[in-house]
Amino acid sequence: MCSKISKVAIYGRVIHEEFYPYFKQMLRDLNERGVCLTCYKPFYDFLREKCGISDVFQAFYEEDVDRDTDVLFSVGGDGTFLDSAMRVKNHGVPVLGINSGRLGFLANIAQEEIPQAIHWLCAGDFDVEQRALVKFEMKDNPFAEFNYALNEISVLKTERSSLLKVHAYIGEEYLTTYWADGVIVATPTGSTAYSLSCGGPIVAFGCDNLIITPVSPHNLNMRPLILPGNVQIRLKVESRSGDFMLSADSRMQRMSDNHELFISSGDFKMNVVKMPDHSYYDTLRNKLNWGEDKRNKKDKS
């Protein structure tokens, strides 16, 4: 269990109109409990214009949240949750995902669960899980300000290129060359995201692993590979167009082929709030319909 919260930062991008009442009630509940509220300034500008919210926040931030923040509320979908990693960085501030979108695998607090979540938070009745990040280094890194990702690092073909040739090394040892539309290096958290849609395995978030998953490989015998988290992966890309797309979660940048990418497990972890009635395995079943079969819906043995 954790200490009671007294300071909450709100992060988001946009929310849909049907979520406005839930959001306003959330702010009222927190205010009534004496919680100090800060807000990401661009999100506040949106709220002030669209929701008429003006005087509930005591401070604003443009980049990192204050280190003395008890919890960051990420309000939106899973993409917003991924972006919140750039707001907390290595400060250790736990993130709670409030789902105003659709899937809500990471942002898994549904709108009707918000009052109960606030009750638990203010009572200190919650836990914190640590999620591994993936770190990437390269010359002229376009994401040098925060060269980490929660889900995955990907190299992908551009819209004008044919297959990529991605030469992969584990440390100094040559692994293979992927002829594919791209290659994903995912964390266990990211194993249920893009990697999964490309045929990668589900790896529980508590494992210390990196997962290499090819995107639409030309060779049918090319399969995903699970690696220990203490290795360094080196990728060298060749393409006919002379460039490729580098993706770090929701950030993307076109890069020239003369870049080498060095990928490893992050040197810190992201803290994520876990509510008492939420389970990772429940989320697998409920959000991904994992193992769903009309023949066994009543079978929970």
Domain boundaries of the chain, sorted by first residue: 7-126+275-297, 133-267
Nearest to 188 by CA among 133, 248, 269: 133
Count CB atoms within 10 A of the CB of residue 61. 17
What is the side-by-side strand order in the sheet with 243-248?
A: 225-228, 209-215, 182-186, 152-156, 243-248, 251-256
Distance CA 251, CA 233 (A): 20
pLDDT score of 282:
87
pLDDT score of 196:
96
230 is in an annotated binding site: no
47 is in an annotated binding site: no
Distance CA 289, CA 196 (A): 13
43 φ, ψ (degrees, to nearest 5): -70, -40
Distance CA 2, CA 247 (A): 35
pLDDT score of 296:
67
pLDDT score of 294:
67
260 is in an annotated binding site: no
140 is catalytic: no
- Encode the chain (301 residues) as per-residue pLDDT tens digits: 677 899 999 999 999 999 999 999 999 999 999 999 999 999 999 999 988 887 899 999 999 999 999 999 999 999 999 999 999 999 999 999 999 977 778 998 999 999 999 999 999 999 999 999 999 999 999 999 999 999 999 999 998 778 999 999 999 999 999 999 999 999 999 999 999 999 999 999 999 999 999 999 998 889 999 999 999 999 999 998 899 999 999 899 999 998 899 999 999 999 999 999 888 888 888 878 877 776 766 555 5
pLDDT score of 139:
92
Cα-based angle 277, 283, 287 (whole degrees, multiple of 5): 135
User: Which residue is catalytic, options 45, 70, 78, 140?
Assistant: 78
CATH assignment of 7-126+275-297, given 3.40.50.10330, 3.30.750.24, 3.40.50.1100, 3.40.50.1980? 3.40.50.10330
pLDDT score of 104:
79
What is the reported pTM? 0.93
49 is in an annotated binding site: no
Q: How many CA atoms lie within 13 A of 269 on its CB side?
A: 15
| Cβ atoms of residues 23 and 75 within 8 Å | yes
**In the CATH scheme, what is the homologous superfamily, with its name and number, of domain 133-267?**
Probable inorganic polyphosphate/atp-NAD kinase; domain 2 (2.60.200.30)
137 is in an annotated binding site: no
